[in-house]
């Protein structure tokens, strides 16, 4: 079904309209699932009732999140409104419920067990994640100028810049890592 002329026509239309490749793949995925849910009936033979049944099934039988259901709705809205030129009207489907997910917090012993298995740069990265409360992307984006050894603080540059604590236990390892990086950089410059 991946080489379906119908789905290929939708793909071409999405590209002509300037949709991103990621949106294209997502919309095609949900349109395909919609068609399979209705035993491969062609979307031109279906309408609002079938869209309502599919979206309700996602909430009731598959336990999808609110955002996942919205993405499926957007894909089907594109299919009917923009590609087929068919107005569906009010759908009145059962909305997925927002599930609150509680973060998993590791105990100090669990963190110590993880850190004892690591060394070098990996140990330093995980120590930053735990000790300074950084997200992985924030940690990997840290620059030398973001580190203030005097005040034991880090400037985290992201959508909203923020300052956080630099764990004093990381100062020595961080200084060593920075010196190693600088020596590698000097070697690269000397070779060039």
> Which CATH number is 48's domain given?
1.10.150.130
Residue 165 placed within a domain: yes
User: Cα–Cα distances in Å, from 102 out to 99, 105?
Assistant: 10, 9
Residue 103 placed within a domain: no
Look over the chain and give the mean of its residue pLDDT values, rounded to a whole number.
Answer: 89
Residue 156 placed within a domain: yes
What is the spatial distance between Cα 26 and Cα 78, in angstroms, rounded to a whole number? Answer: 12
73 and 123 share a domain?
no
Q: Provide the domain count of the chain.
A: 2
What is the spatial distance between Cα 105 and Cα 38, in angstroms, rounded to a whole number? Answer: 42
Residue 182 placed within a domain: yes
60 and 131 share a domain?
no
Residue 9 placed within a domain: yes
What is the spatial distance between Cα 15 and Cα 146, in angstroms, rounded to a whole number? Answer: 41
Within 10 A of 136 (CB to CB), how many other CB atoms are there? 11
Question: Tokens representing 160?
Answer: 């909203």
What pLDDT digit, counting tens, does each position of 86-145 carry?
998 888 888 877 666 667 888 989 999 999 999 988 998 898 888 888 888 888 888 889
**What is the extent of the structural domain holding 58?**
5-84
What is the spatial distance between Cα 3 and Cα 7, in angstroms, rounded to a whole number? Answer: 7
Residue 177 placed within a domain: yes
119 and 80 share a domain?
no
Q: What is the pTM of this model?
A: 0.54
**Virtual CA dihedral for 116, 118, 120, 126, nearest 10 degrees?**
-90
80 and 119 share a domain?
no
75 and 139 share a domain?
no
Q: Is the pLDDT of residue 1 over 50?
A: no
Question: Tokens representing 83?
Answer: 């590609």
Contacts of 158 (CB under 8 A, 6+ apart): 135, 137, 138, 141
Using alpha carbons, select from 158, 152, 156, 147 the residue that is nearest to residue 181. Answer: 147
Domain boundary among 84, 99, 124: 84
What pLDDT digit, counting tens, does each position of 46-82 carry?
999 999 999 999 988 888 888 899 999 999 999 999 9
């Amino acid at each position: 079904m991946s080489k379906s002329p119908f789905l290929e026509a939708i793909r071409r239309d999405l590209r002509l309209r300037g949709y991103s490749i990621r949106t294209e793949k997502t919309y095609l995925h949900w349109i395909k699932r919609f068609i399979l849910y209705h035993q491969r009936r062609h979307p031109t033979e279906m309408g609002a009732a079938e869209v309502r049944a599919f979206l309700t099934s996602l909430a009731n039988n598959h336990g999808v999140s609110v955002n996942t259901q919205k993405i499926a709705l957007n894909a089907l809205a594109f299919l009917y409104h923009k590609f087929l030129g068919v107005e569906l009207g009010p759908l009145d489907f059962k909305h997925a419920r927002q599930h609150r997910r509680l973060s998993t917090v590791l105990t100090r012993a669990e963190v110590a067990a993880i850190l004892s298995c690591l060394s070098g740069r990996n140990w330093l990265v995980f120590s930053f994640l735990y000790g300074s409360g950084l997200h992985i992307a924030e940690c990997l984006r840290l620059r030398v100028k973001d580190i203030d050894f005097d005040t034991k603080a880090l400037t985290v540059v992201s959508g909203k810049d923020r300052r956080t604590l630099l764990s004093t236990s990381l100062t020595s390892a961080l200084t060593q890592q920075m010196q190693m990086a600088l020596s590698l950089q000097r070697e690269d410059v000397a070779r060039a």
